[in-house]
Amino acid sequence: MDGRRAAPRAAEARAAESGRAAPPLLRLPILAFRLFLSDQAHLRAAALAYTSLLSLVPVLAFAFSLMRGLGFEEDLLSFLLLQYFPASDPGLYGQVVGYVRQVNAKTLGAAGLGGLLLSVALTLGTVEKALNDIFGARRQRSFVRKFTDYFAILFLSPLLIGITMSGIALLQLRERLGFLGGIWLFSEAATLALKLTPLLGAILLFAWILVVMPNTRVSARAAAWGGVTGGAAWFLLQWAYVRFQVGFSRYEAIYGALAQLPILMVWLYLAWCTLLYAAELAALAQGRRPPAGAGEGAPASDPAELALCILTEAAMRSAGEGPLLGREEVEKGLDARPEILETVLDRLQTHGLLLEAGEGGRLLLGRHPASIPAVEAWDLFPPAPLPGGERLFGEMRRRRRSALEGFTIEQLRLAAQERPEGNHDRRPAPRAEGPAEGPPAGRDA
């Protein structure tokens, strides 16, 4: 078990060392690539490629049924085939499109339509799980949120593609505007915009997926990092895929009528690798992974100390010192790794010391602060094994726990209020000698 725990830390340390050695502009992409490998995202991409291949027809059928109502169906098919699926032979896609066109909601019936929607939801749920792991979000969406968010994605994604296509069609009208043909600036700008429109559409689509799919807040800066990198990488990958596809004709001698299936699977795999790499980069830009300067053996935040800090702050907010504490505020205000914070918050809620209310993730104490002993929260987080230093760190931890005996969260709140106004560090630091005035109220003699 210790070896399993040490392996990710060692990989993150190697990633940090490579990030420090790289130029500043390349530091984040290189670190993201090392984390992409250490997180085994390439294996997730293979699983997602298989899942998306199985659900390709249901997803396209649902999307095309929406676009059919907007009058975009034929243009959408051409756009997808020419821009986003660079296979050598469109025969396979013609068969897929044929299956999609045969899907009719009137003839499917309630059970068939339910199965179609279920397969779409399961596919999106697999994508959400992969992105949640990358961004450090431990909780999955509730059923109601999955229903609303997933179908918002299914409705808006075809609409985004339709807007992109409308922009292309609008720019193509310049060929019919003869009186503007002599304006060189307009002609060249329109040509450049026409070429960049698919790229911009891909960037927006990547950024939107990174914002909507993970069950955590992703900042605009992080989404821009991931969107630009993912969109650009996708188009570079597409260019290389088309330019350097060699020997695909030999697949026909092996696979026969299914010769295009391996090509489609490879492209789906590379597309998912691109998305997951963009997610790793966005997570780094948001600070949800260990910083580039962290190395193996860097001390992590103590979960027990974080728990006391969170409970004390929640008690202060409940006493009227500012608005109620929010989960997002905790993540921003405490210098700790997000996965550790998630573990602390979940364990406090599991044991009834903390409650989460509302969509904003407002955190409330589960009991009155005077009835929560500090050692009760402290004991919820036993120390992790530290090879070579068990005796020293164990003694330090016992001393810190003994200093907390007899104190409650309410007393920690009062002690935090008495600190100087300029000191905003509310992390409890009890004295080993105990309070100078004697034992606190309620302590046994």
Q: Which domains does the chain have, with CATH numbers?
A: 26-285 (no CATH), 303-417 (1.10.10.10)
Cβ atoms of 307 and 381 within 8 Å: the answer is yes
**Pick the residue with more confidence: 377 or 109?**
377
Q: What is the mean pLDDT of the chain?
A: 71
Instruction: Give the percent of the chain with pLDDT over 90.
Output: 3
DSSP one-letter code for 431: -
Q: Is pTM, for the whole model, over 0.75?
A: no
User: Which of 31-35, 106-110, 288-292, 402-406 has the least mean pLDDT?
Assistant: 288-292
Q: How far is the C-alpha of 9 from the C-alpha of 11, rounded, in Å? A: 5
Q: How far is the C-alpha of 141 from the C-alpha of 1, rounded, in Å? A: 30
Cβ atoms of 434 and 400 within 8 Å: the answer is no
At 266, list the tokens. Answer: 């490879």
**Main-chain dihedrals φ then ψ at residue 72, nearest 5 degrees:** -105, 5
pLDDT tier, 5 (very low <50, low <70, confident <90, very high otherwise): very low
From residue 261, give the alpha-carbon distance in Å to each of 102, 252, 258, 264, 368.
21, 10, 5, 5, 62
DSSP one-letter code for 55: T
**Alpha helix locations (H) across 244-259?**
251-255
- 231 CB-near residues (< 8 Å, 6+ apart): 199, 200, 202, 203, 204, 205, 206, 207
User: Which of 287-296, 304-313, 326-335, 403-412 has the least mean pLDDT?
Assistant: 287-296
Q: How far is the C-alpha of 137 from the C-alpha of 341, rounded, in Å? A: 10
Looking at residue 276, its pLDDT comes to 93
As a whole number, mean pLDDT of residues 114-132 equals 81
Looking at residue 183, its pLDDT comes to 56
Say if residue 441's pLDDT is above 70: no
Write the pLDDT tens digit of every residue in 180-222: 555 545 556 666 766 777 788 788 888 988 888 888 888 888 8
Highest mean pLDDT: which range of 129-133, 191-195, 234-238: 129-133
At 65, list the tokens. Answer: 């049924």
User: Which of 171-180, 250-259, 366-375, 420-429 has the least mean pLDDT?
Assistant: 420-429
The helix/strand/coil state of 362 is strand
Say if residue 401's pLDDT is above 50: yes
